[in-house]
Amino acid sequence: MLDSKQLRTDTEAVARNLARRGFVLDLEGFRALEERRKQAQIEADRLRAERNANAKAVGMAKGKGEDASELLKRGESLTHALAIAEADLERVQIEADQWLMGLPNLLHDSVPEGRDESANVELRRQGEPRQFDFEPADHVDVGARLGGLDFEAAARISGARFMVLRGSLARLHRALAQFMLDLHTSEHGYQEIYAPYLVSAAALTGTGQLPKFEQDLFKVDGERPFYLIPTAEVPVTNLVREQILTAEQLPLRFVAHTPCFRSEAGAAGKDTRGLIRQHQFDKVELVHVVKPADSYAALEQLTAHAEEVLKRLELPYRVLALCAGDIGFGSAKTYDLEVWLPGQGKYREISSCSNCEAFQARRMQARWRNPETGKPEPVHTLNGSGIAVGRAMVAILENYQNADGSVTVPAALRPYMGGQERLVP
């Protein structure tokens, strides 16, 4: 959510910023709506103040034993008028809120211009793609040869876009998650979190998935609806919702390993082969809650923490600054990490690190008390994958495959694999 004050006082600049995303802000519509809201609120407040004063007068008159029948009559008509004014205000308010909730975040000045992913800017590369003396297979074939990757069983159980892991691959998957958690908790200073996988609409509204992106979510109907989390960002960031934190509590750094559930509506036919795009996948997520002044330093830090995972696994990757048109709804600036996949011969996204500034904090009412002003102000929130577990496994299978069908276990993972150095068919 944008700062409504800024939206009102600096409308042109906001419109110019949003235009970088290709988002057209309806200035006329906004001004008309805002004017209606203002009038409705002034009128309702006025009537309510009058009614309150009148009611108080009734009490005083009765206390003195005076006749209050005139005041009572006036009160009745005021209450009636107020009901109408309040209903009017509520309608406008809902309309204004929905409109505000549908606006994406403002972009940081450093975000490169561009309409789509082709304009993303590569910032750096780490590691050299390995030269194979045989034709590298993709992870589906590597996994099949190991006998641990079973899409057919998954299809029988659940359908398309699910996977079953068996034996050493299931263990590799677990080892990856453990390794990442240990790295972030013991070396990067994160607190490990276990949080709900089913969340309320309010939590999803806080982080920005609702109301606009309901079609991307799995909804669990019941007396009260729940949604399956599309990322741990949702429950973990919402840890600070409706809180006023002290300056001493910041920064907060959380890490959580959770499954993520995505409907992938609109991705029909995309990445249908393999486990790149699944309805259910595991991810280790990093979340920072920081003072506004620190958030861009925190973004660099968080990205470095995600990169460290790939460095330790000795996987080649590159870092992109997403361009204006490719940045997510709630983010002001995003870096993507892309890992090299020999099976596809290209870099594929494995982590996305975003600074949401105050966008989510305003929706969640997550604040800190700024000692300089003494006032509660929105915190800044950041999140990033540190990193996607399923895709990390893909990268390992493809980058560490051998001609005989075996897969070398990266050194960093061996302690989590009982010392095993190779996965063999």
For RNA, the closer CB: 4 or 420: 4
Tokens of 310: 């790939």
> HEC string of 163-192?
CEECHHHHHHHHHHHHHHHHHHHHCCCCEE
Question: Looking at 36-44, 270-278, 292-300, 392-400, which segment touches RNA (CB under 7 A)?
Answer: 36-44
Measured CA to CA, the distance from residue 128 to residue 251 in angstroms comes to 35
Measured CA to CA, the distance from residue 378 to residue 206 in angstroms comes to 13
Exactly one of 20, 171, 262, 348 is catalytic; which is it?
A: 262
CB of 376 to RNA, least distance (A): 4
Q: Strand pairing partners for 378?
A: 367
Exactly one of 43, 349, 369, 406 is catalytic; which is it?
A: 349
Tokens of 364: 């969640």
> Is residue 4 at the binding interface for RNA, with CB under 7 A as the rule?
yes
- DSSP letter for 400, please: T
> Is residue 224 at the binding interface for RNA, with CB under 7 A as the rule?
yes
Verify whether residue 262 is a known catalytic residue: yes
Q: Which of 13, 60, 170, 202 binds RNA (CB under 7 A)?
A: 60
> Is residue 292 at the binding interface for RNA, with CB under 7 A as the rule?
no
Q: Which of 249, 280, 365, 406 binds RNA (CB under 7 A)?
A: 365
Question: Looking at 34-42, 144-152, 214-222, 297-305, which segment touches RNA (CB under 7 A)?
Answer: 34-42
| Identity of residue 264 | E
- DSSP letter for 232, please: T
> Is residue 273 at the binding interface for RNA, with CB under 7 A as the rule?
no
Verify whether residue 391 is a known catalytic residue: yes
Verify whether residue 69 is a known catalytic residue: no
Measured CA to CA, the distance from residue 327 to residue 10 in angstroms comes to 23
Verify whether residue 421 is a known catalytic residue: no
Measured CA to CA, the distance from residue 217 to residue 310 in angstroms comes to 29
320, 391, 340: which is closest to 118 by C-alpha?
Answer: 320
Q: How far is CA 245 from the centre of its chain?
A: 21
Tokens of 306: 């995600």
For RNA, the closer CB: 75 or 127: 75
For residue 281, the SS3 value is: strand
Measured CA to CA, the distance from residue 138 to residue 340 in angstroms comes to 12
Q: Which of 58, 155, 193, 201 binds RNA (CB under 7 A)?
A: 58
Question: Looking at 56-64, 130-138, 164-172, 342-350, which segment touches RNA (CB under 7 A)?
Answer: 56-64
For RNA, the closer CB: 262 or 367: 367
CB of 13 to RNA, least distance (A): 15
Q: Which of 15, 244, 304, 412 binds RNA (CB under 7 A)?
A: 244
Q: Which of 49, 123, 153, 297 binds RNA (CB under 7 A)?
A: 49
* Phi, psi angles (nearest 5°) of residue 384: -165, 150
| Identity of residue 417 | M
Q: How far is CA 36 from the centre of its chain?
A: 33
Q: Which of 22, 29, 59, 425 binds RNA (CB under 7 A)?
A: 59
Q: Is the dihedral of CA 241, 246, 247, 249 positive or negative?
A: negative
> Is residue 76 at the binding interface for RNA, with CB under 7 A as the rule?
yes
Tell me the longest C-alpha to C-alpha distance in the chain.
103
Q: Which of 53, 94, 202, 267 binds RNA (CB under 7 A)?
A: 53
Verify whether residue 352 is a known catalytic residue: yes
> Is residue 379 at the binding interface for RNA, with CB under 7 A as the rule?
no
Binding footprint of RNA, residue count (CB under 7 A): 36
> Is residue 199 at the binding interface for RNA, with CB under 7 A as the rule?
no
CB of 235 to RNA, least distance (A): 15
Measured CA to CA, the distance from residue 287 to residue 301 in angstroms comes to 11
Exactly one of 21, 161, 391, 398 is catalytic; which is it?
A: 391
> Is residue 311 at the binding interface for RNA, with CB under 7 A as the rule?
no
Measured CA to CA, the distance from residue 280 to residue 236 in angstroms comes to 18
* Phi, psi angles (nearest 5°) of residue 255: -130, 140
Q: Which of 51, 166, 212, 291 binds RNA (CB under 7 A)?
A: 51
Question: Looking at 52-60, 106-114, 186-194, 275-283, which segment touches RNA (CB under 7 A)?
Answer: 52-60
CB of 9 to RNA, least distance (A): 6
CB of 88 to RNA, least distance (A): 14
Concatenated DSSP letters of 321-373:
EPPGGGS-TT-SEEEEEEEEETTTTEEEEEEEEEE-TTHHHHHHT-EEE-TTT
Residues that bind RNA (CB under 7 A): 4-5, 9, 38, 41-42, 44-46, 48-49, 51-56, 58-60, 62-63, 71-72, 75-76, 78-79, 223-224, 244, 365, 367, 369, 375-376
Active site residues: 262, 277, 349, 352, 391
